[in-house]
Structure 1
C-alpha cells in the first residue's frame, strides 16, 4: 500500500507517550507541516517554545535517526501539495542570504550525489534488459517532465525501431495512443512533484494490461511507484517553482549509455549511415569545412 501519510501516522500513534514539549512540536507539525518542513531544529523549537535538543529527541521518539531524517519525511509529505506560489516563497526564504548561481549548482550537484548513493543498480540493470527485450517501447512525460521524455525519445529512436513518444494534449488522446498495450511492451513513465494525474492514469492502465512499467520518479513514496514493475529513483527538490531535473537527466543518460553498449555493433552501423545523411544534407555546421573555405578564399 502507498504510505504517503506515514509521518502523520507515526506522530498520531506516538502522541500518548510524548512529553509536554514534544506534544507542542507534534501539534505544530500536524497543523503546519507545510511550514515546518523548511525549519531548522532550532527554529522549530523557538516557534513552539522548546529547546533544540527537545526537537531532536522528538525526531528520535518517532523512530527517525536525527532531525534531518524527520525533515526528509516531512518533505516527502508536503512537496506534492505545495502550489507554485508557495514554492516560490520557499525559494525566496532559502536564497535570501546566498548567491543564486552557487546555491542552485551546489544543490543540483547534491541531488546527483544522493541519487548515486540511493539508486538500486540491480533495478537499473533489470530495467535495461526489459527495454532491450520489449516488443514496443512507450515513453510518457508531461509538463516539465515532457522535456525528459523528449530527450529519452530522441536517443531511443536512434537505438530502436519500436519507440513511441506519447503526446498528451488530452487524456483521451493519450489513451488512443496506448490502447494496444500488451504484456510484451514496456512503458516508461516520468513524473516528479507535483505529480501529473495524466501520467498516473497512463501507468495505471499500463499495469492493468500487464505491460512492464518503468517509472522515473523521485521517491519510494511517489504515487508512480504503486504501478511500477521497476522504479528508478532520482532526487528532485523544491529549490523554487522551477523543477530540478538534473539528477533525473543523469539517470536517463545512464539508461541510454547502458543500452547503447549492449547494442554497440548495431548502433555503430546506424550512426555511420546517419553521419552520411547528416553530411549530405548539411544537418550540422561543419567547422572544418568552413575553415577550409575561408582559407581558400583568402588564398585567392
Structure 2
C-alpha cells in the first residue's frame, strides 16, 4: 500500500459513511496519487456517483465541501500519517481488504476487553433464559444476526420467536409475545438503524418487556435508559459493514443463556440423537 493510500484510509477511519460514500472513498484509495487533483465532477465519474454525492461525502468527513477536502489532501505532507500494521510495522504491501480484516480483529480485541467483566452478559443470559416466549428482533442489516441467534437458541430454549420483518404486523407480533408470557426481548441493532426498530423497541418497553440490545455502540439511537445494552463495534472499512463482533457477542449470549437453562444440555443431546436417526447431516 502506498503512503498516499494509507493517509486516505487514515482520514476515512472512524467515519460513518453510507455505501455510496464508501464507494467514493474506495475510488480515492485506488487513485490515491491523483485524488488531490481530481475535480468533484471527475471523482464522481470515476466512482460512478453523482456530483452532489461527492460534496456530501466531503461534508461527512468534516469538511465544508469538496474543495476543502481537496485542499487538505494537497497540503498533507507525503510522509505524514503513515499507516502501520497491527504490530506497529509499516503497512507497505497491506491492501484494503487486509486492512479491513485487521480492523475487524481490533474490534474483536475490544470486545474481549469488555467481556473481562462478564456481569452484563450473565445478567442478559438470565433474562433471556427466563422469558417464555423469547422474541428476537433484528431488522434489515441486523436480520442475519437475529436469525443466527434464533436458530441456535431454538435448540435449547423452548419458545423462540424470530422477528425480522417490519411493517404493520411487527407490533402485533410483539403484543402476541407479551400475551403468551414474554418478559424480555433481545434486539440486534446495527447501522443504519431502521426507524421501525426504534419504534418496535419503544412499543416493547411500553408493553413491559425488558429490552436486551446488541448494538454497534452504547450511543446507538435505539438505546434507552433502563435497557441492558451490550456494545459490539462493526467494521466500516468496506462498502458494507462487517459484523464479526456482534455475531461473536451473540454466541457469547447464547452460552450465558444456556447457563440459565437447566435442561439445555439434555435438549442438545436429544437434538443430536434425532439428527442422527434422520441422517440430517452429511458427515
Bin for the TM-score computed over the shorter chain: 0.5 to 0.7
Gaps of 5+ in 1: 1-35, 41-70, 287-300
1:231, CA displacement in angstroms?
0.2
| CA offsets 1:166-211 (integer angstroms, 9 cap, x no match) | 131x420212211235485211111111111121111111111121
1:260, CA displacement in angstroms?
2.3
Change (3 A) 1:216 1:94: farther
1:161 to 158, 179, 185: 158
1:91, CA displacement in angstroms?
4.0
1:108, CA displacement in angstroms?
1.0
Change (3 A) 1:118 1:189: same
1:116 to 97, 112, 118: 112
Aligned counterparts, 1:114-193, within 5 A: 114-118=110-114, 121-168=118-165, 170-182=166-178, 184-193=182-191
Whether the aligned pair in 1 keeps the contact of 2:141 and 2:191 (CA below 8 Å) is no
Tell me what 2:11 maps to. 39
Whether the aligned pair in 2 keeps the contact of 1:90 and 1:240 (CA below 8 Å) is no
How many pairs are equivalent?
A: 212
CA distance in 2: counterparts of 1:215 and 1:261, whole angstroms: 19
1:37, CA displacement in angstroms?
10
Tell me what 1:244 maps to. 242
Aligned counterparts, 1:49-128, within 5 A: 75=15, 79=16, 82-93=17-28, 98-118=94-114, 121-128=118-125
CA distance in 1: counterparts of 2:141 and 2:194, whole angstroms: 10
CA distance in 2: counterparts of 1:125 and 1:185, whole angstroms: 17
CA distance in 1: counterparts of 2:227 and 2:189, whole angstroms: 15
Gaps of 5+ in 2: 1-7, 33-92
Tell me what 2:42 maps to. none
Change (3 A) 1:270 1:181: closer
CA distance in 2: counterparts of 1:88 and 1:158, whole angstroms: 40
CA distance in 1: counterparts of 2:201 and 2:120, whole angstroms: 18
Whether the aligned pair in 1 keeps the contact of 2:100 and 2:238 (CA below 8 Å) is no
User: RMSD of aligned C-alpha atoms?
Assistant: 2.6
CA distance in 2: counterparts of 1:174 and 1:277, whole angstroms: 33
239-248 or 90-99: which moved more? 90-99
Q: Which has the larger radius of gyration?
A: 1
| CA offsets 1:97-126 (integer angstroms, 9 cap, x no match) | 742442222111011112222456322221
Whether the aligned pair in 2 keeps the contact of 1:135 and 1:184 (CA below 8 Å) is yes
